[in-house]
Amino acid sequence: MTRLQNKRNAILKATLELLIEYDLQSTSMTRIATHANVGMGTIYNYFESKEALVSTLFNEIHHAMITTMFTNYPEQAGIQERFFHVWRLKCKYFIEHPQEFIFVERFTASPYVKPNIDKTLLNTLAQLDIMFEDAKQQGLLKQLPKSFFIPIVNGSLGALIRSHVMGTIVLDEDAIELAIHACWDAVKS
């Protein structure tokens, strides 16, 4: 079983590494197999098709990111503490996994990947809504529709992570705190 998981993981890793550097079309199955040190046909023992492989990779990263964001989530703490917790972990996750960030950015909203968000994930994500709802109740937020807040925060931080990954800024721990603070200022009343 360990061996099997190794093959599967090697294939996913190879796919990730190739796709952040090359085109989808020039990242051929043969190339992936070679890069993963695996026979070509082996990929098809683990994934139905190239599309399924790329989609699986996408969904696994997405899942890992969200799971990370809510690790040790202080459900009972104050708004700001919850706010900072979630986005701090998101930033850290992608700064530690820059390839995953590039990949997810590139394939979000691509017609090629079939997103597969399961119930567990949706339940987890519901915490964000609860947080913003609580914040609204306490009059902490700007007079904007609720659905505006996540894009505002996510958008800024995503763009900063991209800049960091591209090397145009350095997003260390201090900078992350300042950045999240800026996002908080953006949404707070």
Q: Give the phi and the psi of residue 110 in degrees, each rounded to 5.
A: -85, 140
* Nearer of residues 37 and 108 to DNA, judged by Cβ: 37
Nearest to 21 by CA among 96, 119, 98, 94: 98
The distance of closest approach from Cβ of residue 100 to a second copy in the complex, given in angstroms and rounded to an integer, is 14
Q: Report if residue 74 touches a second copy, rule: CB under 8 A.
A: no
CB 179 within 8 A of CB 157: yes
Q: Report if residue 18 touches a second copy, rule: CB under 8 A.
A: no
Task: Kindly identify the residues of this chain, within the stretch 21-60, that bind a second copy according to CB under 8 A.
Answer: 21-25
Among DNA, a second copy, none, the one that 42 touches (CB under a kind-dependent 5 to 8 A) is: DNA
* Nearer of residues 49 and 189 to DNA, judged by Cβ: 49
Among 16, 86, 135, 187, binds a second copy (CB under 8 A): 187
* Nearer of residues 38 and 141 to DNA, judged by Cβ: 38
Among 20, 28, 95, 124, binds DNA (CB under 7 A): 28
Give the whole-angstrom CA distance, residue 10 versus residue 15. Answer: 8
Among 72, 109, 119, 139, binds a second copy (CB under 8 A): 109
Write the DSSP string, 78-129. -HHHHHHHHHHHHHHHHHH-HHHHHHHHHHTT-TT------HHHHHHHHHHH
CB 81 within 8 A of CB 151: no
Q: Report if residue 56 touches DNA, rule: CB under 7 A.
A: no
DSSP 76: T
What residue ranges bind DNA (CB under 7 A)? 3-4, 7, 25-30, 33, 38-42, 44-46, 49-51
